[in-house]
Chain A
Amino acid sequence: MASDETNNILDEVTTGEYKYGFFTEVETETIPPGLSEETIRIISEKKMEPEWLLEFRLKAYRKWLTMPEPKWAHLQIPPIDFQEIIYYAAPKPKKELTSLDEVDPELLDTFNRLGISLDEQKRLSGVAVDAVFDSVSVKTTFSETLAREGIIFCSFSEAVQNHPELVKQYLGTVVPYADNYFAALNSAVFSDGSFCYIPKGVKCPVELSTYFRINAANTGQFERTLIVADEGAYVSYMEGCTAPMRDENQLHAAIVEIVAMKDAEVKYSTVQNWYPGDKEGKGGIYNFVTKRGLCKGERSRISWTQVETGSAITWKYPSCILMGDHSVGEFYSVAVTNNHQQADTGTKMIHLGKNTRSTIISKGISAGKSNNSYRGLVRVAKNAVNARNFSQCDSLLLGSQCGAHTFPYIRTENNTSIIEHEATTSKISDDQLFYCNQRGIDTESAIGLIVNGYAREVLNHLPMEFAVEAQKLLAISLEGSVG
């Protein structure tokens, strides 16, 4: 990674605090708080959805009502009153949008402040963006350029209108609505998100990206992303997110589904920077997310890379189902917790096909009074001959009041499989800090340097422009964690 940037980043460390905590004054259309079949019908109606989708939502809702909240994670989750949450909030469009000129300037300004330019002319590199503001997608860039390749990249709502057959074919096939409590909730009330389809043999020429922004108060964000890479297709997908600073907690329960057909490859990268709450642990986002990829065809490949720095509570396990023979699943994660943040995150690698391979690299960093857990499952089914897994779970502790925990589960039913698990726990020592100080590097910068060094193996898997963002975040999130 370019050390030029590293240095600039470390300079910025001194500026501190959560930079994205501002609130945008836009006229917002919201529905009253509360969850019922009526709420779901309203959402569905507002989105002019076909009957089958409303049915899908209602089935999910009815299932959700029967499910208990999961309690197995190493997290302390205060009770959530689902009747107090607003399930739909959208900036009021002044009229039907056809070009960027018609997007509310307040919204454009919001995304500019977040460093996301929605102006295609002004974008430096080839990244197409779908910008989601509260419950709706504001603008998707480069859609027309991509369409020439046959690539569909649009908001989920547009996909429902324009490509209902594709949505119907794949929706809920990787994460069924009954999968878990939060997945059921999302399936009932999801508002928007991104949809992406890469046709046979097409290598997507630009990075695709969705940027999620929670703005309105008391709302939950329930987006849903569906990515389908047809035979031999390739796509690299990035997701970023921020929210204003608020004293109350806000719920974010998303679903990401990925399907990779024969010889297809999908890389999914996340830099998660939801508002983490203040130093005393007040406020912040509850980030309860279900992400799963299905390596459906032979030699397909799905890779998750995540940098988790935000959220008050993170509950998230991006997973791969390795169904196709010779398919490959990868999970690279850096999870940082500071102050009172809690994270329980990891992955599941389910080996079903022959000669399937998976790699797990997890780097946890805990500071302040936070708790950081890795939870992972490697499962090898009976027919998964010659399955291979390598897992490495490292924990880095800053200070003496934080916790790091590792919960690796391994279940194998095939004795030809090879599973390796390595784990380390380390601390940044005073001697390391003094060594850096003695070379003229102050303690904050030294921590940034050491933490970035520790996370490098994961950061190297991020697309370049994301890697820079991630490095900055790592340094900023740990500010004030020592001394």
Chain B
Amino acid sequence: MLNIQDLHVQINGKEIIKGLHFSVNKGEVHAIMGPNGTGKSTLANVIAGKEQYEVTGGSITYKGLNLLDLAPEDRAREGIFLGFQYPVEIPGVSMTNFMRTAINEQRKYKGLPPMAAGDFLRYMKEKQQLVELQDKLSNRSVNEGFSGGEKKRNEIFQMAMLEPELAILDETDSGLDIDALKIVANGVNKLRRPDNATVVITHYQRLLDFIVPDFVHVLYEGRIVKSGGKELALELEEKGYEWIKGI
């Protein structure tokens, strides 16, 4: 589904990703771990198409498409979802209006008619329950005045609404207490299907107690330096990132 070959990425002239190889198949859950500043968020943003990052080498293909040729909104419409580490506030734009626009843009891209108002509201209600967000969410502006936990749950809620084929969750666990973490993880698990894939970016092993990955990768200095099964996360937790530096 996703295939990254020898990727090089710069931001403001500084190389952050230095020859990264990474691939994801349908039905898989991957965890990417690593210390701060090693390029985890950069990788997520490059896949989503954030402009400020400059790809200086390598390739990314997604469902056979050259991903780097697609505008960010088209990547989203093709089924790529990024759960943001710091979801931005958009005052005045209600969650209902926002999601409705997003869903209908996606439907338009696929040649489908817009979703009828009633159907949409029912659908939204159903997905809200998945992450235990209250009904009043619909009238609130996007992320405005949300607590840290609510913002993260709101990301998972949007993921549930958009039913992505490839979801990348960037440090979705940071700043969550254990109850919120369970809710978020539970949401992700329920959305897991044989025809979609999830990449979980995290700093701590803790999240992986709840979202069990098929593969764990360690990102260090812009490259994946070690890959393995879920036991790698435990080993990493035990030995610390210092261990990686020796590899």
- A contact set with B: CB distance below 8 Å: 2-4, 6-7, 10-11, 429-432, 434-443, 445, 449-450, 452-457
**Cβ-defined contact, B72 with A437, below 8 A:** yes
**Cβ-defined contact, A438 with B48, below 8 A:** yes
User: Which segment of B25-33, B89-97, B197-205 sits at the interface?
Assistant: B89-97
**Measured between alpha carbons, how far is A10 from B105 in the docked complex, in Å?**
10
Of A10, A437, A455, A457, the residue contacting B73 (CB under 8 A) is A437
**Cβ-defined contact, B96 with A453, below 8 A:** no
Q: Is B49 engaged at the interface, CB distance under 8 Å to the other chain?
A: yes
User: With contacts A3-B100, A440-B106 known, is A435 near B92, CB below 8 A?
Assistant: no
Point out the residues of chain A lying under 8 angstroms from B66, CB to CB.
none
Measured CB to CB, the closest approach of chain A to B152, in angstroms, equals 14
Of A10, A429, A442, A457, the residue contacting B88 (CB under 8 A) is A429
The chain B residue with its CB closest to the CB of A363 is B92
**Measured between alpha carbons, how far is A440 from B162 in the docked complex, in Å?**
9
The proximity string for B residues 73-88 relative to A, scoring 1 for CB distances below 8 Å and 0 otherwise, is 1001100011010011
User: With contacts A6-B97, A439-B162 known, is A432 near B73, CB below 8 A?
Assistant: no
The proximity string for B residues 114-136 relative to A, scoring 1 for CB distances below 8 Å and 0 otherwise, is 10010000000000000000000
The chain B residue with its CB closest to the CB of A7 is B104
Measured CB to CB, the closest approach of chain B to A188, in angstroms, equals 44
Of B76, B99, B142, the residue contacting A438 (CB under 8 A) is B76
Measured CB to CB, the closest approach of chain B to A205, in angstroms, equals 29
Point out the residues of chain B lying under 8 angstroms from A437, CB to CB.
49, 71-73, 76
The chain A residue with its CB closest to the CB of B103 is A440
**Cβ-defined contact, A440 with B84, below 8 A:** no
Of B71, B100, B104, B141, the residue contacting A453 (CB under 8 A) is B141
Q: Which of B82, B87, B90, B102 has the most CB of A within 10 A?
A: B90
**Cβ-defined contact, B91 with A454, below 8 A:** yes
- B contact set with A: CB distance below 8 Å: 48-52, 71-73, 76-77, 81-82, 84, 87-88, 90-94, 96-102, 104-106, 108-109, 114, 117, 141-142, 158, 162
Of all A-B residue pairs in the complex, the 9 with the closest CB atoms, nearest first, are A453-B92, A453-B93, A437-B72, A440-B76, A439-B102, A440-B105, A431-B88, A442-B73, A437-B73
Point out the residues of chain B lying under 8 angstroms from A435, CB to CB.
84, 87-88, 90, 142
Point out the residues of chain B lying under 8 angstroms from A10, CB to CB.
101
Point out the residues of chain A lying under 8 angstroms from B141, CB to CB.
453
**Measured between alpha carbons, how far is A432 from B50 in the docked complex, in Å?**
12
Point out the residues of chain A lying under 8 angstroms from B50, CB to CB.
434
**Cβ-defined contact, A440 with B51, below 8 A:** no
Residue contacts A-B, CB under 8 angstroms, 25 given: A2-B117, A7-B101, A7-B114, A10-B101, A11-B108, A430-B51, A430-B52, A432-B90, A434-B50, A435-B87, A436-B73, A437-B71, A437-B73, A438-B81, A439-B158, A439-B162, A440-B73, A440-B105, A440-B106, A441-B105, A452-B93, A453-B93, A453-B97, A454-B91, A457-B92
Point out the residues of chain B lying under 8 angstroms from A454, CB to CB.
91-92
Point out the residues of chain B lying under 8 angstroms from A436, CB to CB.
73, 90, 98, 102
Of A434, A440, A452, A457, the residue contacting B77 (CB under 8 A) is A440
**Measured between alpha carbons, how far is A313 from B120 in the docked complex, in Å?**
42
**Cβ-defined contact, A442 with B90, below 8 A:** no
Of A3, A434, A438, the residue contacting B97 (CB under 8 A) is A3
**Cβ-defined contact, A432 with B88, below 8 A:** yes
**Measured between alpha carbons, how far is A283 from B7 in the docked complex, in Å?**
51
Of A3, A432, A443, A455, the residue contacting B96 (CB under 8 A) is A3
Point out the residues of chain B lying under 8 angstroms from A452, CB to CB.
92-93
Measured CB to CB, the closest approach of chain B to A467, in angstroms, equals 14
Q: Which of A2, A438, A443, A457 has the most CB of B within 10 A?
A: A438
The chain A residue with its CB closest to the CB of B79 is A440
The chain A residue with its CB closest to the CB of B92 is A453
**Cβ-defined contact, A441 with B101, below 8 A:** yes
Measured CB to CB, the closest approach of chain B to A361, in angstroms, equals 13
Point out the residues of chain A lying under 8 angstroms from B96, CB to CB.
3
**Measured between alpha carbons, how far is A452 from B92 in the docked complex, in Å?**
8
Of B51, B99, B101, B102, the residue contacting A434 (CB under 8 A) is B51
Point out the residues of chain B lying under 8 angstroms from A450, CB to CB.
90, 92-93
Point out the residues of chain A lying under 8 angstroms from B101, CB to CB.
3, 6-7, 10, 441, 445, 449
User: With contacts A7-B101, A445-B101, A449-B98 known, is A438 near B72, CB below 8 A?
Assistant: yes
Measured CB to CB, the closest approach of chain B to A122, in angstroms, equals 26
Measured CB to CB, the closest approach of chain B to A393, in angstroms, equals 16
The chain A residue with its CB closest to the CB of B117 is A4
The chain A residue with its CB closest to the CB of B114 is A7
**Measured between alpha carbons, how far is A77 from B99 in the docked complex, in Å?**
44
Measured CB to CB, the closest approach of chain B to A364, in angstroms, equals 15
